[in-house]
């Protein structure tokens, strides 16, 4: 078996035994990247990674394992463009994000910059200003987004594992569309220091991997309190691999009736139902629950997220850093033209919407009201977790969309996030695990993901359920 197709745990065994070296893994990845037409990478520096590999401690938990990094996470000395023309060739990170420091402390090697929707705003990775990423399972389809490059790289065997960010489903949705595991940890579980902010109260970094065990291994490395991030919680970090295979006998799993309406593609529903039956057979009790404020989630999310984006992206003004137009007439002309040329259509759309909902006369009607609904949505989940240990749902109503399908209808893309955004609003943990594939009209097999949602700081039990679902899929 080629090294680039293996799991972290398998490679770690070989590295520990001295059968392979980190350079062997890097060479295997580089060879496959050169042959791939998926477009998952914005760039990679093989020589730099090999140099770093010479000094890694192979006794560490991730010793010698290359990890791909989404292009909105700072790695010292590397470009961090957020797939935007505004930062292309204009910014190199002067420091490591906390998750990168922690990866290095665990022996991992950051390798490559993964494509994404510009500033993480999008659901298909088609909003990248720097290149197109396609779905490895069907060249006519999108990989999902905004962490589309991170998911496509793992699915196409051009990465062993990657980091992504999830603001409204941006890890789980591309993981589902590409057939890999994608974990969104609880808000505050992982430091956001060094992550370029989209919506600060919603953003969370997490891993995309080939297996649930690999996701737990990466989570072990990057979780923990960080004094550099005021939203980082002081919580003990358990060994997330512990108890993975203990089974789910006696656990209660909730099916929210609001997530199983008419909007789901029948073939997707069939795959979810099959896995739910398997979880029931494995000893879990399946309970119908209600999350009554789900119908307000999309509107709430797109008010809160765009408001925070408007504030966060105001720093990109053509003066402090990033691309700057030449010969401006005055300061206002500099702002206007730099931002007009630097930002893509979707980023502009969200900045405008966010500025509107925060503006005088509309703040109470939109932003303040959305914050109140956010509290109601969070309470829905708190009430549900009094009855169940985890919640089961689809990740997306459909499999991967055709490239360009919703180019002129951004609202349709927003609605496709209906099952994922509530987890970010509530700050809880979530994961996408492959649960089969459906056949498209062109004959390709398109992956389907099962979403499992756990309470805040409930990653251990969440991963147990995810591992049980993975076993069902493999049997």
Residues that are catalytic = 70, 146, 170
Query: Considering only CA atoms, which of 410, 364, 430 is closest in space to residue 169?
Result: 430
**Pair 120, 167: CB distance under 8 Å:** yes
> What three-state secondary structure class fits 138?
strand
Q: Using N-to-C axis directions, what is the helix angle for 212-222 and 98-105, rounded to 10°?
A: 110
* Cβ atoms of 173 and 395 closer than 8 Å: yes
CA distance 144 to 349: 19
Query: Are the beta carbons of 447 and 469 closer than 8 angstroms?
Result: no
Rounded to whole angstroms, how far apart are CA atoms 192 and 228?
A: 9
Tokens 């941006």 belong to which residue?
170
Q: Is the CB of residue 122 less than 8 Å from the CB of residue 346?
A: yes
Q: What's the order of all strands across the beta sheet hosting 252-256?
A: 41-43, 109-114, 66-70, 162-165, 205-209, 181-184, 429-439, 445-454, 390-394, 252-256, 285-289
d(CA 405, CA 401): 7
Of 240, 218, 230, 241, nearest to 188 (Cα)? 230
- 173 contacts 210 by C-beta, under 8 angstroms: no
CA distance 314 to 343: 12
Cβ pair 257, 222 in contact under 8 A: no
**Alpha carbon distance 204, 168 (integer Å):** 9
Q: 90-107 as b/e, with b when 16 or more CB fall inside 10 Å?
A: ebebeebbbbbbbbbebb
Closest CA to 432 of 154, 98, 133, 65: 154
State the Cα–Cα distance between residues 294 and 24, nearest whole angstrom: 48
DSSP 34: H
Continuous segment of H or E residues that includes residue 312: helix 297-312
Are 354 and 370 within 8 A, CB to CB? Answer: no
CA distance 454 to 321: 39
């Amino acid at each position: 078996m080629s090294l680039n197709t293996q799991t972290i745990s398998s490679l770690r065994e070989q590295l520990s035994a001295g059968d392979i070296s980190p350079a062997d893994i890097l060479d295997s990845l580089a060879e496959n990247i050169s042959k791939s037409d998926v477009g998952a990478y914005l760039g990679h520096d093989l020589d730099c990674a090999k140099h770093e590999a010479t000094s890694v401690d192979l006794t560490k938990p991730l010793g010698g394992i290359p990890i791909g990094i989404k292009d909105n996470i700072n790695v010292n000395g590397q470009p961090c463009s957020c797939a935007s023309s505004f930062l292309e060739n204009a910014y190199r990170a002067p420091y490591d994000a906390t998750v990168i420091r922690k990866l290095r402390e665990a022996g991992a090697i950051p390798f490559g910059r993964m494509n994404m929707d510009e500033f993480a705003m999008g659901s298909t990775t088609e909003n990248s200003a720097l290149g197109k990423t396609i779905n490895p399972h069907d060249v006519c389809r999108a990989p999902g987004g905004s962490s589309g490059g991170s998911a496509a790289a793992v699915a196409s065997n051009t990465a062993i594992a990657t980091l992504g960010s999830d603001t409204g489903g941006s890890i789980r949705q591309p993981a589902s569309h590409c057939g890999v595991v994608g974990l969104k940890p609880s808000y505050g579980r992982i430091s956001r220091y060094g992550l370029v902010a989209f919506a600060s109260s919603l953003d969370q970094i997490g891993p995309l991997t080939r297996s649930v065990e690999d996701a737990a291994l990466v989570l072990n490395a990057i979780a923990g309190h960080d004094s550099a991030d005021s939203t980082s919680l002081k919580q003990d970090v358990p060994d997330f691999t512990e108890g993975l295979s203990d089974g789910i006998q006696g656990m209660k799993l909730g099916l929210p009736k609001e997530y199983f309406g008419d909007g789901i593609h029948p073939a997707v529903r069939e795959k979810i139902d099959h896995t739910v039956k398997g979880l029931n057979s494995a000893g879990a009790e399946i309970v119908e629950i209600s999350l009554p404020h789900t119908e307000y989630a999309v509107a709430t999310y797109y008010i809160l997220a765009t408001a925070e984006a408007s504030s966060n992206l105001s720093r990109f003004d053509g003066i402090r850093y990033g691309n700057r137009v030449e010969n401006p007439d005055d300061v206002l002309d500099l702002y206007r033209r730099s931002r007009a040329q630097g930002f893509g259509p979707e980023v502009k759309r969200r900045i405008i919407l966010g500025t509107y909902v925060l503006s005088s006369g509309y703040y109470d009607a939109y932003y303040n009201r959305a914050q109140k609904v956010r509290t109601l949505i969070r309470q829905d989940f708190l009430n549900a977790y009094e009855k169940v240990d985890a919640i089961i749902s689809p990740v997306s109503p459909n499999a991967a969309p055709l490239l360009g399908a919703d180019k002129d209808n951004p609202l349709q893309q927003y609605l496709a996030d209906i099952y994922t955004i509530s987890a970010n609003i509530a700050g809880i943990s979530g994961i996408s695990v492959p649960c089969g594939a459906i056949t498209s009209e062109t004959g390709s097999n398109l992956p389907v993901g099962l979403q499992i949602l756990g309470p805040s700081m409930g990653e251990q039990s969440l991963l147990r359920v995810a591992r049980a679902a993975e076993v069902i899929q493999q049997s």
